[in-house]
C-alpha cells in the first residue's frame, strides 16, 4: 500500500480535531478534583434550611445534613451541593450571619470525610470565601458571579464554578417573566458571563453553565429551553441542569399534587440526551439508575 493511502484526508483530520477539542473541554476542574465528564454526573442537593431540617438546634441540623449527604454519596452522587438560603420563587433572603451558621459547620465536617467535591450554593462573596476556606471545591452561583466581589473570590481560588441564568431575583422573578427569544437571550447571557469570568483569570475548564430552569421563566420559556438545550452546549463549557422536583414539572404533567419523581427522572434523562453533563437532583439513587439505561445504549 502506498504511503499516500495511509494519510488521512484533511477533512478527517478536521473531524478528529473537532472531536478532540470536545473531549478536552469535557474536563471539569474544581479544586483538587478533576471530573471527567464522559458520563452524566450527579450533583446531590443538600439543603440546610430550617424548613428542610427543622428544630433540634444547630448541631442536630449539621448531624442530619451530614447523614443525608453521606447517603447521597452512597447513592451515587459525584458532587454535593450545600445550600443555606432557599432560592425558591417568593423566598425571603436570609442574613449573611445566618447563612454562614447553616453552611460552614457542615462543609467543614463534610470536607474531612468525603472525597467528592463539595459545592457551595450561594451568591454572596463572603459565604463563598469562608466555604472555600472550609473545604468547598466549587461555587454554584444562581447570580453567575454578578454580586460585587464574587468574581474576585473565585478568581483568587482554584475552585470550579457554575454560572446560572436568572431573570430578576427570587422574590419577584416569577411574577411576569418576559423574553423576545428565551433561548437566544439565555445563550447570550451565558456567553457574556463566560467571557467576563475567563477574562478575570478563571480557566475555561473550571466553568460550567446552567440555563436556570424556573428562575424568571414561564412554563413556555422552560419548555423552549429544555427543547433547545443542545445549542447551549456549544458555548464551550459543560452544561449543568436543575429540574428536580421543580413546579415547572407539575406545570408539564398538569398535576400539582402528583409525586414529582417520575417527571424529574424524565427531565434528567431528556437533559442528558440533549447534552447536559451535570444534573442537580434530590433523588440521586433513582437518577443514577435511570442514567444506567442511557449509558447502556452509548
Ligand atoms: C422542590 C425543591 C422544588 C427545590 C423546587 C426546588 C438550581 C440551582 C436551585 C438550578 C443551579 C430548587 C440553587 C431551586 N435550582 N442551582 N439552585 N441550577 N445551578 N427548587 O437549576 O431546587 S434552587
Predicted confidence band of residue 154 (pLDDT cuts 50, 70, 90) = very high
Higher pLDDT, 86 or 50: 86
Q: Is 246 a catalytic residue?
A: yes
Name the residue of 164, 189, 237 whose CB sits within 8 Å of the most ligand 1 atoms, as the mutation to test its pocket.
164
Answer whether residue 165 is part of any domain.
yes
What's the pLDDT score for residue 164? Answer: 98
Domain limits for position 45: 40-296
What's the pLDDT score for residue 89? Answer: 73
Predicted confidence band of residue 278 (pLDDT cuts 50, 70, 90) = very high
Q: Closest Cα partner for 88 from 54, 47, 126, 56?
A: 47
Higher pLDDT, 200 or 8: 200
Ligand 1 centroid – CA 103 distance (Å): 16
Task: Quote the cell numbers at residue 5.
Answer: 493511502
Is the pLDDT at 258 greater than 90? The verdict is no
Task: Quote the cell numbers at residue 74.
Answer: 452512597
Answer whether residue 291 is part of any domain.
yes
Share of the chain above pLDDT 90, in %: 77
What's the pLDDT score for residue 19? Answer: 60
Is the pLDDT at 175 greater than 70? The verdict is yes
Identify the weakest region by mean pLDDT among 222-231, 247-256, 258-267: 247-256
Alpha carbon distance 46, 124 (integer Å)? 18
Which pTM was predicted?
0.91
Q: Is 171 a catalytic residue?
A: no
Answer whether residue 151 is part of any domain.
yes
Atom of ligand 1 nearest to the CA of 87: 23
H/E stretch holding 185 reads helix 182-199
Count of C-beta atoms within a 10 Å radius of residue 282:
17
Average pLDDT over residues 213-227: 96
Q: How many domains does the chain have?
A: 1
CATH number at residue 166: 3.20.20.20
Alpha carbon distance 279, 37 (integer Å)? 12
For helices 219-227 and 182-199, what crossing angle results, to 10°?
70
Q: Closest Cα partner for 160 from 272, 49, 43, 246?
A: 43
User: What residue's CA is closest to ligand 1, atom 7?
Assistant: 242
What's the pLDDT score for residue 31? Answer: 98
Task: Quote the cell numbers at residue 289.
Answer: 439508575
The residues, any chain, with a CB within 8 Å of residue 275's CB and separated by 6 or more, are 229, 230, 232, 233, 239
Name the residue of 211, 242, 263, 277 whose CB sits within 8 Å of the most ligand 1 atoms, as the mutation to test its pocket.
242
What's the pLDDT score for residue 54? Answer: 47
Tell me the pLDDT of the chain averaged across its residues.
Answer: 91
Average pLDDT over residues 236-255: 95
Q: What is the pLDDT of residues 76-132, one digit of tens each?
A: 999 999 999 987 777 778 999 999 999 999 999 999 999 999 999 999 999 999 999
Answer whether residue 196 is part of any domain.
yes
Task: Quote the cell numbers at residue 243.
Answer: 429540574
Alpha carbon distance 92, 289 (integer Å)? 35
Answer whether residue 157 is part of any domain.
yes
Answer whether residue 14 is part of any domain.
no
Alpha carbon distance 238, 275 (integer Å)? 9
Identify the weakest region by mean pLDDT among 13-22, 45-54, 63-72, 181-190: 13-22
Higher pLDDT, 25 or 211: 211
Residue tagged active-site, from 124, 217, 246, 277: 246
Answer whether residue 69 is part of any domain.
yes
Predicted confidence band of residue 176 (pLDDT cuts 50, 70, 90) = confident
Average pLDDT over residues 262-284: 98
Alpha carbon distance 278, 39 (integer Å)? 9
Answer whether residue 132 is part of any domain.
yes
Amino acid at each position: 500500500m502506498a504511503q499516500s493511502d495511509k494519510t488521512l484526508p484533511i477533512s478527517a483530520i478536521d473531524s478528529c480535531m473537532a472531536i478532540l477539542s470536545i473531549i478536552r473541554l469535557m474536563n471539569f476542574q474544581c479544586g483538587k478534583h478533576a471530573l471527567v465528564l464522559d458520563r452524566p454526573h450527579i450533583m446531590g442537593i443538600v439543603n440546610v434550611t430550617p424548613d428542610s431540617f427543622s428544630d433540634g438546634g444547630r448541631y442536630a441540623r449539621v448531624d442530619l445534613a451530614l447523614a443525608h449527604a453521606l447517603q447521597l454519596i452512597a447513592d451515587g452522587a459525584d458532587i454535593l451541593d450545600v445550600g443555606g438560603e432557599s432560592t425558591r420563587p417568593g423566598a425571603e433572603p436570609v442574613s449573611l450571619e445566618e447563612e454562614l451558621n447553616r453552611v460552614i459547620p457542615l462543609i467543614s465536617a463534610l470536607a474531612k470525610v468525603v472525597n467528592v467535591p463539595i459545592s457551595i450554593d450561594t451568591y454572596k462573596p463572603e459565604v463563598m470565601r469562608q466555604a472555600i476556606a472550609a473545604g468547598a471545591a466549587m461555587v454554584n452561583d444562581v447570580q453567575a458571579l454578578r454580586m460585587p466581589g464574587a468574581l474576585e473570590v473565585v478568581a483568587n481560588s482554584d475552585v470550579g464554578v457554575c454560572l446560572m441564568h436568572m431573570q430578576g431575583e427570587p422574590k419577584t422573578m416569577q411574577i411576569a417573566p418576559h423574553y423576545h427569544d428565551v433561548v437566544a437571550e439565555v445563550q447570550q447571557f451565558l456567553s457574556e458571563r463566560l467571557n467576563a469570568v475567563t477574562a478575570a483569570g478563571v480557566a475555561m475548564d473550571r466553568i460550567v453553565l446552567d440555563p436556570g430552569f424556573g428562575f424568571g421563566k414561564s412554563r413556555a420559556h422552560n419548555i423552549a429551553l429544555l427543547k433547545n438545550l443542545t445549542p447551549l452546549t456549544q458555548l464551550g463549557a459543560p452544561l449543568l441542569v436543575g429540574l428536580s422536583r421543580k413546579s415547572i414539572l407539575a406545570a408539564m404533567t398538569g398535576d400539582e399534587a402528583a409525586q414529582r419523581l417520575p417527571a424529574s427522572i424524565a427531565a434528567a434523562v431528556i437533559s442528558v440526551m440533549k447534552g447536559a453533563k451535570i444534573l442537580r437532583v434530590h433523588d440521586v439513587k433513582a437518577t443514577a439508575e435511570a442514567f444506567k439505561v442511557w449509558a447502556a445504549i452509548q
